[in-house]
Every structure is written in C-alpha cells, then in structure tokens.
Amino acid sequence: METNLDFEREKIETGLQHLGFTMNDARVYISLIVLGPSIPAKIAEDSQVDRSRVYDSLRRLTKKGYVEEEPIKRGPYYKAKNPIEIFSALRKEFREKITLSASLEKLLENYHPPMKQPFLVSLSGKDPIYREILSIIENAEEFLKFIITPDISKNPENFKEISDLLVNKKRTIPSIKVEVALNLEEENYQFQLKKLYSHDIMIYKWDIGNVFPFGLYLSEKSYVFTTLSIGKTPEYSIGLTVENAVPRMMDGFKHLFEWNYLSYYQKGYMIRTKKIEDFKDS
C-alpha cells in the first residue's frame, strides 16, 4: 500500500528528472537525503536500484558535485550535498542559459530568412500537438475554426487556456472570426462558455456519433489536423500541421469543417443560440 511518504518521494523523483537527473540518479540522491551518509549496499536497499547501478549513479552524482565521497580506498561512505546548495547552483545555471539563449536567438535570427515555401510536418504526441494548437491561435489574424477533440475540451486546464487565448485574440483583433465546436457537458463549463459567447465567438456543440472523430484547428495561415492513435487507451496523438500555407491548401480544410457541420452538428445544437442569461456563473 502506497503511503504519503512514498507519494512524496515519487513526486520529488519526478521533479529531479525534469531537472536533468536520470531516474536512478534521482532515487539514489533521495535515498542519501533520507539515510544520511551511507554505503552503496544500504543505498541500493532503500532506493530499490540495483547495486551495480547505484555505483554508476554515485559516480555521476559525485562528478556533478551533488554527492560527496569519503577520501578512502575501501568502503567509503557517500553523503548528499545540501539541497539548498545544489538548487541554488542549478538556478544560477538556468539563469545563465536563459541569458545565453536570448543572445543566441538574436544572433541566429540574422541567418534565418523568412520561410516562403509551405512546409508540412507530421506530429506525434499530445504535447507537440497541443503546442501547435496554441501557436495557431497566437499567429492568426483573419479567422480561427476549431473542432476541438474531447481530450482537450473536457480537460478543464486545457479548455481554459484555449478559451482565454481565443478571448485575448478577439480583444486584440476584434475583426477576427472565431468558430469553436465542442464535445462536452455544458453545465460543467458555464463560465468559460459565457466568456466565449460574450466576446462574439461562435460556439457549437457536436456529437461524435458514428463518424470517426478527429480534430481540426484552422486559421488562414496554418492548420493542425488530428486523428486517434489506437492502443490500450485511444488518444489524439497523431496529427499533421502545415506552416506558411497558401490559400488553396486551406480551402480543402475549410470544406472539411463545413462538411462536419452536417455530419456532427445535426445531432447536436448551437449553443450560440442560447441567451447569455442562460449561462449562470457557477
């Protein structure tokens, strides 16, 4: 049975991996924090890392300055360096990298001519797809047409982020036309729906029905077209996107969006036809 302590260690382990630790290095470092100065056998027992791998991790952590080793030849103890020192050094390193990246960005921009040729890219994974969707909103100027897949529309954080970006876009460019098709239980999203409605964003509800579901995120400049990857848990992690699209490349996707009005919306209804008073703040 997992305890609160197990959960905390797992959370710390995940965080350390985001900071560049390997899984084994993270587990070994956490064990040294918990145990205090220890020998590899005890570290292996506590961290549940194979002893030979523990030695590998200790060498890496010692080289990075995260762990200290006793200066004796046989059976040395190892000690984790104070986390305050480590994370202070990491923050300094990150700040230096941010400064360097900003400088390099300016220098390399001089060697990066504007792209004129359309460029098609295949997308794999939920995060890359989601980042491209946000990028489409950011760069649109004339219109946005979104058929939002349920994994995004029913995720409160994702839906809020996209809704906020669409509203901000409408505030920045009042003339932009925004249409959004959603598959969700509207009573759970009343605040966001009211916000979209109040900024003259067309909102539709659609049912998946018998049509193989896909997502479409379309602007005058680019699109993201997603389909399901079939596995133990089907998810929208396959997609295509095009950069610097020409109008003829977008026309087919516009028609696809209009075709879906007939396929999907006939079983649903236009949320947009409701009065704004119907959307009460929860």
- The b/e string for 89-124 (b: 16+ C-beta within 10 A; e otherwise) is eeeeeeeeeeeeeeeeeeeeeeeeeeeeeeeeeebe
Residue 260 — very low, low, confident or very high, per pLDDT cuts 50/70/90? low
Question: How does pLDDT run across 133-172, given as a tens digit for each residue?
Answer: 999 999 999 999 998 888 888 888 898 999 999 999 999 9
Which residue would you say has higher pLDDT here, 141 or 188? 141
Single pTM value for the model: 0.58
Q: What is the pLDDT of residue 271?
A: 53
Would you identify the CATH topology of the domain 119-278? Endonuclease; Chain A (3.30.870)
Share of the chain above pLDDT 90, in %: 43
- Fold for the domain defined by 4-81: Arc Repressor Mutant, subunit A (1.10.10)
Note whether 4-81 and 119-278 share their fold: no
Per-residue confidence (pLDDT) for residue 256, from 0 to 100: 67
- pLDDT of 245 reads 77
Identity (one letter) of the amino acid at 254?
K
Domain ranges of the chain: 4-81, 119-278
What are the pLDDT digits (tens) for 13-42?
999 998 989 999 999 999 999 999 999 999
Measured in degrees and rounded to the nearest 5, phi and psi for residue 181 equal: -110, 130
* Residue 4 or residue 216, greater confidence: 216
